[in-house]
Amino acid sequence: MSYLLHLATFFGIYAILGVSLNLLIGYTGLVWIAHAATFAVGAYAGALFATKLALNFFLAMLLAMLVAGILGSLTGWIFSRLGGDYYMLASVSWNYIVVSVLINWESLTNGPLGISGIPKPSLGELSFAEPTKFFLLTLVLLGIVYAAARFITNSSFGRVIKAIREDEQAAKVFGYNTLMYKVAISGMGAAMAGIAGVLLASYIGFVDPSSFDVMESIFILAIVVVGGFANIRGSLVGALALVLLPELLRFAGFPAEIAAHVRLGLYGLALILFMLYRPQGIIGEYKF
């Protein structure tokens, strides 16, 4: 049971990442391949506030959201000047930049050694150290993020960002300042990813730069793609599928010599089959 709780907690963290990235990619059409970098900013900010300043988890989380959100808006503002494919390439480079900073800014981030001993959340007498309670906390935060994302996408604001995705020129002609909308949604998505980062840091108790490379960004992208673009529920489904599938394959009982390789191979095969037969994702509403 505790193993399922652990996976459920990971599901919650990745679902938050999937939902927030879907706001950028699925709804606004910004192909942001640096969500692991945003995740990292949240995780490191949370870890540093909680260890160096000994702030309470929830306060550290709010501050980490703020840091991630501001950085997200800033990168959104800069990169939005680049159109389409260039935006995507710039975001990949942003991921590399963030990881390099984490590795090289040793006085702050402790470099490749990472930060260990990150405390578990607590609120007064109530401690969330126990796996069940931590999972419930994750679930509540996922619920808040989900509700916020639903609210954003169903509002008039949501209609504008979808219009930007469909035809930015047309949206401009109607008098919308599309840049401001992109900056705003980048900031919101980043703040949500910041929550996931703080949760991961606190859950594992350790962060290091190797967890946030471009491959991790592609994993989060895969959650959105598998779940379906422009569907918030789809990102939940995608996170569930991609977090559980590799874990289920651990139980497939391959011989020990090749198990690790077969597992990765089957996982890759499943993703390829998906691309071939269901390119819009499980419940996607938009196809690139």
Partner 1 sequence: MNSSSRIVLGIVIIVAVIAGVFAFSQSPSTSNNVPATKNEPIKLGFIGPLTGDGAALGQNARAATEIAVAEVNAAGGIKGRPLEVIYEDGKCTGKEASNAANKLINADNVPVILGGLCSGETNSFAAAAEQAKRVVLSFCSSAPSITQAGDYIFRDYPSDLFQGSFAAKYVYETLGKKKVGIVYVKSDWGSGIKQVFSEEFSKLGGKIVAEEGYDQAARDLRTQLTKIKAAKPDLVYFLGYTEGSTVGLKQAAELKLGVPILGADGWDDPKLFANAGAAAEGVMYTVVSAPLSDAFKAKMKEKTGSEEVLACSPGAYDGVKILAQILASVGTDSTAIKDALYQVNYVGGVSAARVAFDKNGDPVEANYVVKIVKDGKATEVK
Asked if 87 and 34 count as a contact pair (C-beta separation under 8 A), the reply is: no
Q: Where does this chain touch partner 1 (CB under 8 A) — which range of 5-13, 58-66, 166-174, 179-187?
A: 5-13
Sign of the CA dihedral with 194 first, then 200, 201, and 207 last: negative
Judged by CB under 8 A, the chain residues 114 through 153 that form the site for partner 1 are 114, 116-117, 129
- Cβ nearer to partner 1, comparing 70 with 205: 205
3 vs 277, beta carbon nearer partner 1: 3
92, 136, 139, 205: residue in contact with partner 1 (rule CB under 8 A):
205
**What would the x/- binding string for partner 1 be over residues 85 to 104, using CB under 8 A?**
---------------x--xx
- What is the CB neighbour count within 10 angstroms for residue 55? 18
Query: What distance in Å separates the CA atoms of residue 201 and residue 270, rounded to the nearest whole number?
Result: 29
Q: How far is the CB of 191 from partner 1 (least distance, A)?
A: 22
Cβ at position 273, least distance to partner 1 in Å? 17
**Cβ contact 20:193 at 8 Å:** yes
List 92, 139, 259, 266, residue binding partner 1 (CB under 8 A)? 259
Integer-rounded Cα radius of gyration of the chain: 19
166 binds partner 1 (CB under 8 A): no
Rounded Cα–Cα distance for residues 274 and 271 (Å): 5
Residue among 66, 92, 111, 150 that touches partner 1 (CB under 8 A):
111
CA 81 to chain centre: 23
Residues 224-243 interacting with partner 1 (rule: CB under 8 A): 231, 233-234, 236-237, 240-241
Please name which of 70, 66, 68, 46 lies closest in space to residue 198, comparing C-alpha atoms. Answer: 46
Query: Hey, what are 58's tokens?
Result: 């929830």
Give 24-75 as a DSSP string: IIIIT------HHHHHHHHHHHHHHHHHTS---HHHHHHHHHHHHHHHHHHH
Which residue spans within 200-255 are E strands per DSSP? 206-207
Q: Min. distance of Cβ 93 from partner 1 in angstroms?
A: 15
**Interface with partner 1 includes 52 (CB under 8 A)?**
no
Q: Is residue 287 a contact point for partner 1 (CB under 8 A)?
A: no
User: Does residue 251 bind partner 1 (CB under 8 A)?
Assistant: yes
Interface residue with partner 1 among 256, 272, 276, 277 (CB under 8 A) is 256
What's the rounded Cα separation, in Å, for the pair 20 and 189?
5
Per-position DSSP letters for 81-127, written without gaps between them: TS-HHHHHHHHHHHHHHHHHHHHH-HHHH-GGG-EE-PPPPEETTEE
Query: Is residue 278 near partner 1 by the rule CB under 8 A?
Result: no
Which residue ranges make up the site for partner 1 (CB under 8 A)?
A: 1-4, 6-7, 10, 100, 103-104, 106, 111-114, 116-117, 129, 200, 204-208, 210-211, 216, 231, 233-234, 236-237, 240-241, 244, 246-248, 250-251, 256, 259-261, 263-264, 282-283
